[in-house]
């Protein structure tokens, strides 16, 4: 199911421990992954963190997050560029091993 869901992405994101207070996300990158793939996976993990499901249908929740990614990521990049970021200068290392994304997004920075 995950391979089909993520066929157009250069990564696969799995949700672990959904029933707990804080979900965790495990991201595995495909061979052709780039810095933009890493950024997209972080955007999706953030969206998932902000939009907790009302029920335990993880597949539908992941599908909804991928639709949100498609609809919102270009605007996110545009906002970054308007804030002075140069998209061609974003260099995020693509991990060779799966990465556990632990989010602390509720904390004020």
- Total structural domains in the chain? 1
- Would residue 13 count as lying in a domain? yes
pLDDT band at 17 (very low <50, low <70, confident <90, very high): low
- Would residue 37 count as lying in a domain? yes
Would you say how long the chain is, in residues?
109
Q: Is the pTM of this model over 0.85?
A: no
- Would residue 16 count as lying in a domain? yes
Q: Is the dihedral of CA 75, 78, 82, 87 positive or negative?
A: positive
What gap in Å lies between CA 43 and CA 66, rounded to an integer? Answer: 10
- Would residue 68 count as lying in a domain? yes
Q: Which residue range(s) make up the domain with 38?
A: 1-84
- For residue range 53-71, list pLDDT tens digits in order: 777 788 899 999 999 999 9
- Which of the residue ranges 5-14, 45-54, 65-74, 97-106 would you say has the lowest mean pLDDT? 97-106
């Amino acid at each position: 199911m995950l391979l089909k869901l993520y066929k157009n992405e250069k990564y696969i994101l799995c949700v672990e421990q959904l029933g707990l207070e804080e979900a965790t996300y495990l991201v595995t990158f495909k061979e052709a992954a780039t810095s933009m793939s890493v950024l997209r996976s972080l955007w999706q993990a953030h969206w998932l963190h902000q939009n907790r499901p009302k029920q335990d249908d993880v597949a539908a929740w992941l599908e909804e997050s991928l639709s949100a990614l498609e609809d919102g990521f270009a605007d996110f990049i545009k906002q970054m560029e308007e804030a002075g970021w140069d998209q061609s200068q974003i260099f995020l290392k693509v991990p060779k091993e799966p990465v556990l994304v632990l989010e602390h997004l509720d904390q004020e920075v």
